[in-house]
Chains A and B, each alone.
Chain A
Amino acid sequence: MSKDHRSEVDAAIDEGKGVFEISRKGRWPRYALDMVGALAIILALWSAALMYSNLTGGVAFPTPLDVGASLWGLLAGDKLLGASIYQHTIASMGRWALGYGIAVLLGIVIGLVLGTTGWLYGAGMNSTNVYQLIPGLAWIPIAILLFGIGNIATVFIIVMTALPPVVIATASGLRSVPPVYLKVADMLELGPWDRFRLVLLPSSALQVLTGLRVALGNAWRVLIAAEMVVGVAMGLGFSIFAAQGALMWTESLACIVIICLIGLLFERLVFTRIEDGMRSSLGLEG
């Protein structure tokens, strides 16, 4: 039990309450503490890189203060490679949203087919598992051969990388519905739509969400990498690569910080909330 709630618990015992409310303030200090801890680890690793760079006498490694100042300037409107950081971010997020959206739609449809068709499941899952082993960047030559260089190739690479976790999570989620729920559906002679709506979908929703989460991370990571190689003229990955080419190391690192912040934002503000809401609506709390 957190010390923050000790006085509230004592008061409840003294007043003979069976059930009582506690303040939620305790969550923030703990969360803040975790964030400070994570930041400390990152800064420690950064310092180690700085020291190593000084020892080897290479190019001066940017300090956190340098990168902070550069980030501040970029956020305040400084141009990087002819565009604002907002334009670069919007360009990347547009590709990411398109590629991820296509992967989610395709993945859920394929997963539904595999998960609900007994004879296809084994073959489909085995081939998806093999296909999942292909590293995201290995799709680059195929993308260029099929679509040339540019946006479509980048989106293709994102789709191919984000697809397998969605397919696997959807299909295996549908196959891991507790047997007793299926027996209930059989006994009630539910039609295909009611069976899907009342039993299969809610049973597998959390697993599908996990797949979407993994796919989101895959898509984001490969997008940045693909932008470095597949010949786009704007985007965060392109900025990292082009800034490095122009020896703008500080700006390059500032772009990496922005990438991390966007990922964190989605993880904390979007997925965690969706998962909490889903758990609550599925009656899986408590």
Chain B
Amino acid sequence: MLRFESVSKAYVDRREGRGVVALRDVDLEVSEGEFLCVIGPSGCGKSTILRLMAGMDVPTRGMVTLDGIAIERPSRELGMVFQEDSLLPWLTVRHNVAMAAKDPTLVDGYLDLVGLTEFADSRPSDLSGGMKQRAAIARTLAMEPRVLLMDEPFGSLDEQTRSELDQALLNIWERDHRTVVFVTHNISEALRLGDRVLLLTPRPGRPSRVWELGERPRNMDSDDMIDIRKEMEAWMGRCECLSGLIDISAMEGAP
């Protein structure tokens, strides 16, 4: 349903007189109901892939489509959970979720789903980092998007909170098997969550390896999982050597 066809994305910095090819000739297909994890070192184009999927950026070459229709702008079909705190601080948690809700009567249900019923009337400033991300997930779910795009949503949290939120996310996903694309640089997280894990190599970003993971629940200490983890770590190690972070946030997209 979600498809990349020979997608390349470049950014240019006119002032500095240089450009970066963030992605090159990427072909990718995400099936309906799939949970895809994208891993790779910093600067390999993970977030660029997600921005293109979300319609927050357009490809320099190629096409990104949802059910055959080109994605050219953000839409409520493509819900994004951002890495940074994206709740509006002047609204309560309930209001943040309600402003996104397709059906306002379900707002309390989404808050209950992420365990924030008691904090519905709190401001985001009264919540911990983990609770803020739970609220952000509730907001995105309330949009009832076709695809849930998650850009290292738990990246700034400690390992225990991250693991709890991963489990909460899996529980939510198992209710309706909504399509999820989850970007992370954490191998353990990718192994816990993904049906498939895609590794990107940097400069320019390209898919270099895909792992199909088995049924859940998974025993992380099984021989198979240990082998896959070692293989992923080896690939990531190789990619880290190629990497070198160039900040593209101030650059202009080359459409």
Chain A contact residues, CB within 8 Å of chain B = 180-181, 183-184, 186-190, 194, 198-199, 202, 281-286
B143 to chain A, nearest CB (A): 7
Which residue on chain B has the smallest CB distance to residue A184? B86
Q: Is the CB of A181 within 8 A of B88?
A: yes
Which residue on chain B has the smallest CB distance to residue A194? B99
Given contacts A187-B74, A188-B143, contact A286 B126 (CB under 8 A): yes
Q: Is the CB of B82 within 8 A of A283?
A: no
Those of B106-153 within 8 Å (CB) of chain A: 123-126, 143
Given contacts A183-B80, A186-B56, A198-B99, contact A286 B88 (CB under 8 A): no
Query: How many B residues have CB within 8 A of the partner chain?
Result: 24
Q: Is the interface of B mostly helix, strand, loop or mixed?
A: loop
Q: Is the CB of A189 within 8 A of B76?
A: yes
A159 to chain B, nearest CB (A): 31
Inside 8 A of A198's CB, which chain B residues have their CB?
88, 91, 99
Inside 8 A of B74's CB, which chain A residues have their CB?
183, 186-187, 189
A182 to chain B, nearest CB (A): 10
CA distance A199 to B79 in the complex (A): 18
Inside 8 A of A183's CB, which chain B residues have their CB?
56, 74, 80, 82, 86
Q: Is the CB of B76 within 8 A of A188?
A: yes
Inside 8 A of B99's CB, which chain A residues have their CB?
188, 190, 194, 198
Q: Is B78 an interface residue (CB 8 A)?
A: yes
Inside 8 A of A202's CB, which chain B residues have their CB?
88, 90
Complex A-B: 8 CB contacts under 8 Å:
A184-B86, A187-B74, A187-B79, A188-B143, A198-B91, A282-B89, A283-B123, A284-B125
A66 to chain B, nearest CB (A): 52
Those of B53-99 within 8 Å (CB) of chain A: 54, 56, 73-76, 78-80, 82, 84-86, 88-91, 99
CA distance A90 to B99 in the complex (A): 47
Inside 8 A of B123's CB, which chain A residues have their CB?
283
Inside 8 A of A188's CB, which chain B residues have their CB?
76, 99-100, 143
Q: Is the CB of B76 within 8 A of A187?
A: yes
Inside 8 A of B54's CB, which chain A residues have their CB?
187
B86 to chain A, nearest CB (A): 5
